Structure 1
Amino acid sequence: MKVYPLVLGPVQTSCYIVSNHERAVVVDPAANANQIIQYLGMKKLKLEAIFLTHGHFDHIGAVNELVEKYQVPIYAHKKEKEYFEKSEVNLSPMIYERLILNPDFEYRFVSDEESIECLETKIKVFHVPGHTTGSLCYYFEEDEIVFTGDTLFKQSIGRTDFIYGNHEQLVTGIRRKLLTLPGQTLVYPGHGECTTIEEESKHNPFLA
């Protein structure tokens, strides 16, 4: 499995193109759809799906353009539906006038610990609310990598001062569902540098 990071949009969001052979998924297409399209074309990758960790504007900015071009399904948690439909909930008025996702797209809402078969592998989904109500983490067990969005960062965790945020819920979920993964698991967060589960278990001050 290959992971190609792109830092996109006004708040430097990490979007990841994950590929296996000639297939790919995009995790959190934050903005600048043309950059994502250009990379997929350059590498001759067939896009199979979009994985959304959550619905804040800086993680969904290029979704409409990508789905219109590639006609692929969007994976997310059903509790994020309100974020996709209401700009005041996804916080887009902070930067944009208004951002909502097309309700006619194919949404595949997944549940906690459900497995997705994609890229010739199984991806386990963890529902870890607290940053948003439906925040998801995508765990590629065979490859020992997890995409955490704004749930877990290097020596930090997601903000909980936005609408529906819950600090206690977030910390509890991280401890129960993420810190129990193998220590060598590589963490790809929604912002900033990559880290490992072991590193965060030992040194993250928010999880001490």
Structure 2
Amino acid sequence: MKYTITHIKGGTDNCYLVSDGKNAVLFDTASGEYLQQVIDECGKYDLKLIVLSHPHFDHAENADALSKKFNVPVAYNEADDGIFDDYNSQPLYSYGIVGFVVLKASLKVLSQTKVIRPENRFFVKEGDTLADYGFPDIKVVELPGHSNGSIGLLVSDDAMLVGDALDNWIRPATAHLYTDLEAEKKTVEKIRSFGKRTYYYGHGKPTDKF
């Protein structure tokens, strides 16, 4: 099935609505200041599910509020569950000037922001589909590196939501922030193995290559 992917921009952060025209899945939720904007976009569809690429504040701060607002569950990978209790459970490192600047800004906000673990939640893993929510051909892909439990979604044959496994701050690149560099390198090769498609990043505009 062909899906429409709607970009919801929350400052420098991206979240996406994947829709069949009536029903939708929200991928990431942006940070708290953009809650109403995300509510307005989600309200245009019958929202079935929220999927988090990982629980950092700029992707997950609105997850619990949106879950309660639309009475839908939140899915993420179990390896990242501890981040809700302590973001330092998975320390972040950086490379390059861009990474240094982003990390410095991120750590300040991370230390000041409490992301609420969604009450209505469940875990997903590699190969799971969203069939129970009306999207049987959307598949979960594990993309560790930026965080241990980072995930993306394969949407049909021509699109992939990658969260922060890649970023496009200046140009498409390996994530400038990482928890595990070796895992991140393997994730990049894994993404490449899926072949040419449009990549939807957690930061930056979508591209058809990286």
Give the TM-score normalised by the residue count of structure 1. Answer: 0.81
Query: Which runs of no fewer than 5 residues in structure 2 stay unpaired?
Result: 93-105
Higher relative contact order (CA 8 A, sep 6+): 2
Q: Secondary structure at the match of 2:193?
A: coil
User: In the alignment, what sits opposite 2:52?
Assistant: 52
User: In the alignment, what sits opposite 1:147?
Assistant: 161
User: 119, 128, 136: which is aligned to 1:114?
Assistant: 128
How far 1:87 moved relative to its partner? 4.6
Q: Secondary structure at the match of 1:53?
A: coil
Task: Report if aligned partners of 2:167, 2:201 keep a CA contact under 8 Å in 1.
Answer: yes
Task: Report if aligned partners of 2:50, 2:73 keep a CA contact under 8 Å in 1.
Answer: yes
Q: What amino acid maps onto 1:156 in structure 2?
A: A
The 2-side partners of 1:140 and 1:116 are apart by 10
User: 161, 172, 180: which is aligned to 2:186?
Assistant: 172
User: In the alignment, what sits opposite 2:77?
Assistant: 77
The 2-side partners of 1:192 and 1:89 are apart by 26
The 1-side partners of 2:130 and 2:156 are apart by 12
C-alpha change, 1:114 and 1:40, in structure 2 (3 Å) is closer
C-alpha change, 1:120 and 1:79, in structure 2 (3 Å) is closer
Corresponding position: 1:191 with 2:203: yes
The 1-side partners of 2:49 and 2:123 are apart by 13
The 2-side partners of 1:80 and 1:29 are apart by 16
Task: Report if aligned partners of 2:53, 2:150 keep a CA contact under 8 Å in 1.
Answer: yes
Moved over 3 A (4+): 87-93, 118-121
Corresponding position: 1:29 with 2:33: no
How far 1:131 moved relative to its partner? 0.6
Q: Secondary structure at the match of 1:72?
A: coil
Q: What amino acid maps onto 2:155 in structure 1?
A: F
Query: Which runs of no fewer than 5 residues in structure 1 stay unpaired?
Result: 201-208
Give the TM-score normalised by the residue count of structure 2. Answer: 0.80
User: In the alignment, what sits opposite 2:117?
Assistant: 102
User: In the alignment, what sits opposite 2:97?
Assistant: none
When the two structures are aligned, how many residues end up with a matched partner? 187
Identity of aligned residues (%): 26
User: In the alignment, what sits opposite 1:182?
Assistant: 195
Q: What amino acid maps onto 1:159 in structure 2?
A: H
Residues 18-71 of structure 1 show CA distances to partners (whole Å, capped at 9, x for unaligned) of 211211111110121111111233x3x111010111111111121121012112
